[in-house]
Chain A
Amino acid sequence: MLVLENVSVSYGAIEALTDISLEVNQGEVVTLIGANGAGKTTTLRTITGLLEPKNGRITYEGKTISGMAAHKLLPMGIAMSPEGRGVFANLSVRENMEMGAYIRSDKKGIAEDMERGFTMFPRMKERQAQKAGTLSGGEQQMLAMARALMSRPRLLLLDEPSLGLAPLVVHTIFEAIDSIRAEGTTILLVEQNANAALQHSDRAYVLETGRIVMQGDSKELAADPRVKEAYLGE
């Protein structure tokens, strides 16, 4: 579904990603784990067109998307819940969700999806009239995910959804990821919390200083001694 071939990205003279190749297939949950600064967010920003790759090619459903304007990807079915949640703090919760459906004009479908989002995250329903900036970190994360789903994406990119959240909230977020997947949405999950990410995914890539150093089945990687030592704290 999504294929990155030898993608390199630089910030000025500094190379942030070197020869990244990865693949996400229809229906999978693929996770990209790695330490802070390994290039996880850069990878997602490059996929969504916020950054331009220096080399390499990104294709989605057979079409080259590298170098495409960011706002053209959502209509193709790629939605992202950005790092630091990126919710519009000055808009209400409801308006944030409406922004998620910005490219759609079917009022009825939008209303249905709004209800679906509220069912997945009942907290959002309670707070729909509140400004997003007044939500807690966990609630903002829920909102960012609910908002990303409003476009009915086929591929959902999640950037560090559990970052800085209390364990109980992290649990809620990963449950939501499972249920999004159950509805048939393909997910590329970028996480620092390797433990949870490996448990809730099919395949994984390990990123270290801009390179993919390991890849494979999530269960196998979780059992790999090197991964255990470096990322699972065992």
Chain B
Amino acid sequence: MDTFVQQLINGLTIGSIYALIALGYTMVYGILRLINFAHGDVYMVGAYAGFMLATYLGFAANPSIFGFIVVLFGSMAIAALIGMAIERFAYRPVRKFSRMTTLITAIGMSLFIEYLFVFIFSGTPRSFPSLLPNDNFTLFGNATISTSQLLIFVISILLMIGLQWIIFKTKIGKAMRAVSFNLNSAKLMGVNTDFIIAFTFALGSALAAAGGVLTAQYNPKIEPLMGIITGLKAFVAAVLGGIGNIPGAVLGGLLIGAAETLVVGYGSYIGIPSTYRDAVAFAILILVLLIRPAGLLGSNVQEKV
């Protein structure tokens, strides 16, 4: 039982990160019907931005809650700008072409960011400084939760509530929902749809960067290709929840995270070695596409890439 609770805590921790990233995939898909394959790389960029801020602002040497918050929001802001730049210079020029063109552009963008970072920072992993005291709290039994895990939960939840608030309670959120339903109708309402699209990229990128910084507090090794597998899993999470559906992305992320750690914890009983942890998400993807292509919370079956 303790192991189960422990695995669940670990799984939901990773799952929260997947959820944060999945939100960006799903929002961009909702608005542009584009799978932004560079999104996983924005998560990596967020981790590096946090690393640079922590190092050069001196928070690495003197960790504090204040420093952590500066690093978190700073990297979110940087990633938001980069997300907008990606949209502006890579996707906007090809938006009017076929879906295949934008898809290939997205893959190209992803590779570009990855190897630009390999070029700048080299492929050698860096160690992200620990910005917070890392205590363990014992829950009931022997299950423990660390400060960084607790932080991942709390901050993810706060960010998701914030996102929900933006989308459902603000004017710009209303415009985002309108644009995602019908771009041309939104233009007729006087909505500058280019701005709304850029804002959506900014929002999604900021959440991914938060995921990057939070992960790095939990697992400090960062490297330029770290966004590939995590990004793909978050993409699977978005598909599992129903791409385009925001609560679905959160649900999908938590489920993928939980499934992954449960396989690590219990897979050996049913003959699945723990080294298969990365395969879990993709097995789930195949099942979803076979059984319920619209995803758990997706209502209508839409054309997928």
A residues engaging B (CB < 8 A)? 48-50, 69-75, 79-80, 82, 86-91, 95, 98-100, 102-103, 147, 151
Contact = CB atoms under 8 A, between A and B. Distances in A.
A70 B192 CA distance: 9
Given A49-B187, A50-B188, 6 more contacts: A50-B184, A69-B192, A75-B190, A90-B181, A102-B171, A102-B190
For the complex of A and B, list the 6 residue pairs with the smallest distance between their C-beta atoms, beginning with the closest. Answer: A74-B190, A70-B187, A86-B185, A103-B190, A88-B181, A102-B189
Contact of A82 (B171, B177, B188, B190): B188
Interface in B156-188: 171, 174-175, 177-178, 180-182, 184-188
A99 B175 contact: yes
B174 A98 contact: yes
B95 to A, nearest CB: 14
A126 B185 CA distance: 24
Given A50-B184, A70-B184, A86-B182, A91 B174 contact: yes
Contacts of B192: 69, 71
Interface residues of B, number: 18
A88 B180 CA distance: 9
A28 B223 CA distance: 66
B146 interface: no
27 contacts: A48-B188, A50-B184, A50-B187, A69-B187, A69-B192, A70-B188, A71-B187, A71-B189, A71-B191, A74-B188, A74-B190, A82-B185, A82-B188, A86-B185, A88-B181, A90-B181, A91-B177, A91-B178, A95-B174, A99-B175, A99-B186, A100-B189, A102-B171, A102-B175, A102-B191, A147-B189, A151-B189
A49 B180 CA distance: 20
A74 B192 CA distance: 11
B181 A79 contact: no
Contacts of A95: 174, 177
Nearest to B190: A74
Contacts of B185: 82, 86-88
Q: Chain A's interface: helix, strand, loop or mixed, by majority?
A: loop
- Max chain B Cβ within 10 angstroms of own Cβ: one of A49, A79, A98, A102: A102
A71 B174 contact: no
B190 A71 contact: yes
- Max chain B Cβ within 10 angstroms of own Cβ: one of A69, A79, A99: A99
B193 interface: yes
Interface string B193-222: 100000000000000000000000000000
Nearest to B168: A95
B179 to A, nearest CB: 9
Contacts of A98: 171, 174
Nearest to B182: A86
A89 B184 CA distance: 14
B181 A89 contact: yes
Contacts of A49: 187
A103 B174 CA distance: 13
Contact of B188 (A80, A90, A91): A80
- Max chain A Cβ within 10 angstroms of own Cβ: one of B186, B187, B188: B188
Nearest to B180: A90
Contacts of B186: 88, 99
Contacts of B182: 86, 88
Contacts of B188: 48, 50, 70-71, 74, 79-80, 82, 86
Nearest to A144: B185
Nearest to A98: B174
Contacts of B189: 71, 74, 99-100, 102-103, 147, 151
A98 B175 CA distance: 10
Contacts of B171: 98, 102
A77 B293 CA distance: 44
Contacts of B175: 99, 102
Nearest to B195: A71
A151 B190 contact: yes
Contacts of B180: 90
A88 B177 CA distance: 8
B297 to A, nearest CB: 14
A135 B63 CA distance: 56
